[in-house]
Amino acid sequence: MNPKENYLHEFFRIFFANKQMVKRVFLVFAVIALLLPLVLKQSFDITAQVIVQSKKLSQGDATTSLTQENASFIPPSLADMETESNILRSPALIRQTISELRDKGEYTPSPGMLNKLVSEPLKRFVTAPLRQYVINPVKSALGMETDPVRDTVLDGLTQEAIDKLKIETLPGSNVISITYSFGDPAQGTKFVAALLQNYLVSRQELQSIDLPQSFYETKKQQYEVRLDGLEGNRLALLEAIGSSDPKEEITFRLNAINTEEQALNLYQDRLLQSQRWLDYLKSALAAASSNSRLNDYTFPYTFTTTVDNVAFEDREIKQMGEALTTQVSRYMNDLAVFQPGSEPMLLTREQISRTRQQFLKVVSNRIQERTTDLAVVSSVIAQKTARIADFKNRIHQLQETQSKLRQMDTEINALHAAFGTYAQRFAESSSVRSLDNDLSNARVLSPPFEPTAPAFPKPFLIIPFGLFTGLLLAIALVYVREFFDHRFKHPAQITHELGLPVLLVINEQNMLPSNPHKNWTVPSFVHWVRN
C-alpha cells in the first residue's frame, strides 16, 4: 500500500467494498439489541434509607432514669456506621425476614428460580449422611420439623437476597442507603420494609439488656435498704454536730471570726494606747504631788478625749485648773504688795494648797477611772479571744463533719446512679415503645416504595448502544478481513509490491441490479440485505 495514499479514500474503499458484510453484521447486532429488552428478565430497584442520629450512652440518674431524656448522644463514627451496615446485611437477619414473609405467603419465588434453587442443593444436602443420620434424628427427637427442601430453598433465597442487596453508607453522612433488586416490585418492597423493621428491633435488642421483673425488684429492695442506711447515718452526723447545713454555718462562723478579729485588733490598739497614757499620768501625778512650789500650778495633761475627730474636754478638770491658775496669779500679784508672812498671803497660800489637793484628787480619780477602763478592755480582749477560739473549734468540727458528709454523698450518688441504670435498662427492655423505635437513635429516613418502572433492562440505553456497538464491530471485522486478504485491489499495489509499471487497467462493467421492489417493503429490505 502506498504510504502517500489518501487514508480517508482507503477507508471508504474498504467500507464500500465490503458493505454487504457490514450490513449483515450490523443487522445481526441490531436484531440482538432489539430482542434483548424483550428477552432479559425485568428487575426493579427498591430503595430505602436509614439515618443513625447518634450513638446513645446511658446516664444513670435517680430522678430521670425512667424517662427518655436521660441518655447522652454523641455523633456516630465511621466504625459505628460500618457496624450498622453489617447489622443490616447480616445473613441471619435476611434469613429471618424471608422466613417470616414466606410464612405469611408474601414472598413466593418464581417456579423457574425455585427449581434452580432446589435442584442441585437438594441433591447435595438431602442425600448427605450428616443431615440424614445426625441433623434429622436430632430434630425428630426434639419434636422439630425436618424439612430439608424448605431449609435448602430458604438458604438459596437468602443467598440470592444477599447478592441482590446493596447496603452502603453515603459518604460524609450518617445515612445508610439500601438498594434491593428484585423481579416482583410488590414482594421486593415488602421484603425491604420487613428487613428495616427487623433491623430496628434487632439493634434495639443489642443495645438494651433484658432484665426480669424479679431481678429489678431485688435491686430496688437492696437500693432502698442501702439508701435508708446512708440517709440515717447522714442524719445522725447532722444531729451530733447540731447543724442542718455545715457549709452554710462554716461561712457564717468565718464571717463572725473576721468581725471579731477586727474588733479585737481595735481593742488591742486601744489597750496599748491606754496603758501608755496611764503610765504617763501616774508619773505626772507623782511628780505633781511631790512638787509644792506655788508657781507650778499646771498639770501636763488636759484629759481631752477625741471621738470621730471631735475633742471632748473634762469640764471639772478644766474648771478646777482655771480656778487654781486664777488663785496662783492673784497670789503672785499680791506678793508685790503684801509681805509673804502677812495674814492675807498666808490665807491665799492655804487656799491654793487646798485647791491643788482637790485638783490632784480629781486627777487621781481620773487615773483610777482609766485603770478600771483598762481592766475592762483587757477583759473584753480576753472574751473576744476566747470567742474566736470557740468559733475556730466549731469550724474544725463542722469541717470534719462536712468531709464525712461528702463521702456519704458520694456513696449516695453512686447508689442513685447504679439503681438508675438498672431502672433505665428495665424500662427500655420492658417498654412497648421500644418496638416503635421511640427509644432508638436510628430512624427510617426514606421508607421503601413500590417502583413503577423497571431498573433493568433499559431499552433506551440497550438499543442505541447495541446499534453503535454493532456498527463498530462490523467495521472492525471488515478491517481484520482486509488485513489478512493479500490480493491486489488497485493498480498502485502492483507498482508498490512488484516494482513493475501498470500499462493498462480494465474496469469491470457489471453493474449491480437495482432493487426491483417497492421502497420500504419487506421484499425491498431482503433484496437490500442480500446485495
Q: Tell me what pLDDT residue 380 has.
A: 93
Alpha helix ranges (H) inside 68-110: 78-88, 91-103
Q: To 10 degrees, what angle do helices 91-103 and 148-164 make?
A: 120
Residues 275 and 201 in one domain: no
Burial of 139 (0-12, 13-18, 19+ CB in 10 A): middle
Q: Which runs of E-coded beta strand occur in 157-295?
A: 165-169, 175-182
* Residue 516: inside a domain: no
Low-confidence ranges of the chain (pLDDT < 70): 1-7, 9, 17, 55-73, 109-151, 207-213, 216, 292-298, 307-312, 425-440, 455-457, 486, 488-490, 507-531
Alpha helix ranges (H) inside 127-164: 129-130, 136-141, 148-164
* Residue 2: inside a domain: no
* Residue 201: inside a domain: yes
Round to whole Å and give the CA distance between 355 and 12: 159
Whether omega before 457 lies within 30 degrees of 0, making that bond cis, reads: yes
Q: Tell me what pLDDT residue 283 has.
A: 87
- Tally of domains within the chain: 3
Contact assessment for residue 470 and residue 22, using Cβ atoms and an 8 Å cutoff: no
Burial of 349 (0-12, 13-18, 19+ CB in 10 A): middle
Q: Tell me what pLDDT residue 1 has.
A: 45
DSSP symbols for 496-513: HHH-----------PPPP
Residues 355 and 411 in one domain: yes
* Residue 1: inside a domain: no
* Residue 514: inside a domain: no
Residues 266 and 397 in one domain: yes
Round to whole Å and give the CA distance between 193 and 201: 13
The residue to which cell 442542718 is assigned: 244
Q: Tell me what pLDDT residue 432 has.
A: 45
* Residue 230: inside a domain: no
Q: Tell me what pLDDT residue 62 has.
A: 39
Contact assessment for residue 473 and residue 29, using Cβ atoms and an 8 Å cutoff: yes
Residues 271 and 296 in one domain: yes
Residues 273 and 379 in one domain: yes
Q: Tell me what pLDDT residue 262 has.
A: 93
* Residue 480: inside a domain: yes
Residues 26 and 73 in one domain: no
Q: Tell me what pLDDT residue 261 has.
A: 93
Residues 132 and 254 in one domain: no
Residues 374 and 252 in one domain: yes
Q: Is the dihedral of CA 523, 529, 530, 531 positive or negative?
A: positive
Whole-number CA gyration radius for the chain: 60
Round to whole Å and give the CA distance between 93 and 8: 63
- Non-local (6+) Cβ contacts of 412 within 8 A are 227, 230, 231, 234
* Residue 178: inside a domain: yes
Residues 328 and 415 in one domain: yes
The range of the structural domain enclosing residue 400 comes to 246-421
Residues 181 and 264 in one domain: no
Residues 198 and 259 in one domain: no
Residues 397 and 502 in one domain: no
